[in-house]
């Protein structure tokens, strides 16, 4: 058992497909399910899951790619920081290619900025410890999955007494936008494939308001193809039975309460705030900012810098795509002026972006 092949078993997947086809046979209106998480979006494209589902089941992609929902203004600030002498930007790889108002970190690196790709925020802390003469700014982008590790990096920097480690945060939380999208009559979402690893932190109970209050079936679902197919079958069964509950398909990782220790670290280092989602706008109470106690680690507050004037990219349908209202193929820029080499919107950049997935696997 290596826990890879077992969850990619062809016969099991085809068995789910067969059952789902049987369950929805003869329905005249399709069921629309949204996968919120970018990792789900990628898995669905990568394994060709849509080609296995009947026409009566429609999967749409939501705003759960953290890079994609990071607004231009954030990228512009990161670029302004990168241009300061003695400043290193440490980041996960995807952020490097995200276009800001006029340039990207990738272009700034080619012009001489010091931008390092790290695989963990603790690598950025180590970089700061090794180079006391430099300022290291980590780009804290991500949902509840990533945020605890970044909170942990701030605690580690405090423990080591580092004065040269900073985080530029754009952390977001998932449940609030799910509630907003569920209430959008244009979308009429019949059920949510709830994120796998975000739920490992926040717990399956976090979706109870959504399921019980707003009447939207929710199934916490793993990222492997057998998980996704089972999650879809569970949603189909809820819709057919007229139910709306939180179910947990991903019980091997996710509990009802979630990771209490990670939640405590989040509560210690961050406070809830209103935050802008690219293409969607400001969603009250959907962000995490560094708490007052740790303000000295907050790049935005601790390092004053002039940021260029915000310029949005015309014609880019990122916002509508992130809300699941249009598919990448409906965007006039898709695969013409907007490609992974010359992205216009962040959805084309991130390995979890809907447009990147559609470009790479869907054409």
The site for another protein (CB under 8 A) is made up of 2, 4, 8-10, 13-14, 17, 45-52, 97, 99, 103-104, 106-107, 109-111, 118-119, 123, 225-226, 339-342, 351, 359-363
Q: To the nearest whole angstrom, how small is the minimum distance from the Cβ of residue 206 to another protein?
A: 25
The owner of tokens 């898995």 is 43
Q: How far apart are CA 337 and CA 341, in angstroms?
A: 10
Toward another protein, which CB reaches closer, 116 or 208? 116
Q: To the nearest whole angstrom, how small is the minimum distance from the Cβ of residue 67 to another protein?
A: 13
Toward another protein, which CB reaches closer, 9 or 330? 9
Rounded to whole angstroms, what are the CA distances from 102 to 42, 61, 75, 157, 307? 28, 28, 10, 33, 11
The owner of tokens 């935050």 is 275
Toward another protein, which CB reaches closer, 116 or 296? 116
- Rounded to the nearest 5°, which phi and psi values hold at 281? 110, -170
Toward another protein, which CB reaches closer, 111 or 252? 111
Q: To the nearest whole angstrom, how small is the minimum distance from the Cβ of residue 352 to another protein?
A: 9
CB 215 within 8 A of CB 246: no
Task: For residue 195, give the DSSP letter.
Answer: -
Q: To the nearest whole angstrom, how small is the minimum distance from the Cβ of residue 260 to another protein?
A: 25
Give the chain's length: 363
Q: To the nearest whole angstrom, how small is the minimum distance from the Cβ of residue 38 to another protein?
A: 11
Q: To the nearest whole angstrom, how small is the minimum distance from the Cβ of residue 265 to another protein?
A: 23
Toward another protein, which CB reaches closer, 2 or 29? 2
Toward another protein, which CB reaches closer, 70 or 286? 70
323: left (phi over 0), alpha (psi -120 to 50) or beta: alpha
CB 271 within 8 A of CB 288: yes
Toward another protein, which CB reaches closer, 295 or 342? 342
CB 321 within 8 A of CB 301: no
Q: How far apart are CA 335 and CA 317, in angstroms?
A: 13
- Rounded to the nearest 5°, which phi and psi values hold at 48? 65, 35
Toward another protein, which CB reaches closer, 54 or 362? 362
Contacts of 30 (CB under 8 A, 6+ apart): 55, 56, 57, 58
Residue among 329, 354, 264 nearest 40 (CA): 354
Task: For residue 259, give the DSSP letter.
Answer: -
Order of all β-strands in the sheet with 165-172 = 114-117, 87-91, 135-142, 165-172, 281-290, 270-277
Toward another protein, which CB reaches closer, 314 or 363? 363
Residue among 137, 54, 104 nearest 305 (CA): 137
């Amino acid at each position: 058992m290596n826990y890879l092949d077992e969850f990619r078993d062809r016969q099991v997947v085809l068995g789910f497909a067969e059952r789902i086809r049987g369950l929805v046979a003869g329905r005249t209106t399709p069921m629309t399910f949204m996968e919120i998480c970018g990792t789900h979006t990628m898995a669905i494209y990568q394994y060709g899951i849509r080609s296995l589902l009947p026409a009566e089941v429609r999967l749409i992609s939501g705003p759960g790619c953290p890079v994609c929902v990071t607004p231009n203004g954030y990228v512009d600030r990161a670029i302004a920081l990168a241009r300061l002498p003695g400043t290193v930007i440490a980041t996960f790889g995807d952020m490097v290619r995200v276009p800001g108002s006029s340039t990207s970190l990738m272009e700034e690196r080619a012009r001489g900025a010091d931008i390092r790709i790290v695989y963990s925020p603790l690598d950025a802390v180590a970089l700061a410890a090794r180079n006391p003469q430099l300022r290291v700014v980590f780009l804290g982008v991500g949902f509840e999955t990533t945020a605890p590790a970044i909170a942990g990096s701030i605690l580690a920097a405090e423990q080591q007494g580092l004065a040269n480690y900073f985080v530029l945060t754009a952390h977001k939380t998932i449940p609030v936008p799910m509630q907003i999208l569920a209430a959008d009559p244009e979308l009429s979402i019949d059920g949510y494939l709830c994120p796998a690893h975000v739920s490992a932190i926040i717990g399956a109970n976090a979706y109870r308001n959504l399921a019980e209050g707003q009447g939207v079936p929710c199934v916490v679902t793993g990222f492997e193809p057998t998980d996704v197919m089972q999650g879809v079958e569970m949603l189909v069964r809820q819709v057919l039975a007229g139910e709306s509950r939180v179910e947990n398909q991903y019980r091997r990782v996710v509990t009802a309460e979630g990771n209490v220790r990670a939640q405590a670290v989040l509560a210690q280092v961050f406070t809830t705030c209103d935050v802008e989602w690219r293409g969607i706008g400001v969603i009250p109470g959907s962000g995490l900012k560094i708490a007052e106690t740790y303000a000295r680690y907050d790049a935005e507050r601790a390092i004053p810098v002039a940021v260029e004037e915000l310029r949005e990219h015309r014609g880019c349908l990122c916002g509508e795509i992130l809300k699941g209202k249009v598919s990448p193929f409906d965007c006039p820029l898709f695969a013409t002026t907007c490609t992974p080499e010359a992205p216009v919107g962040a959805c084309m950049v991130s390995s979890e972006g809907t447009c990147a997935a559609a470009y790479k696997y869907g054409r």
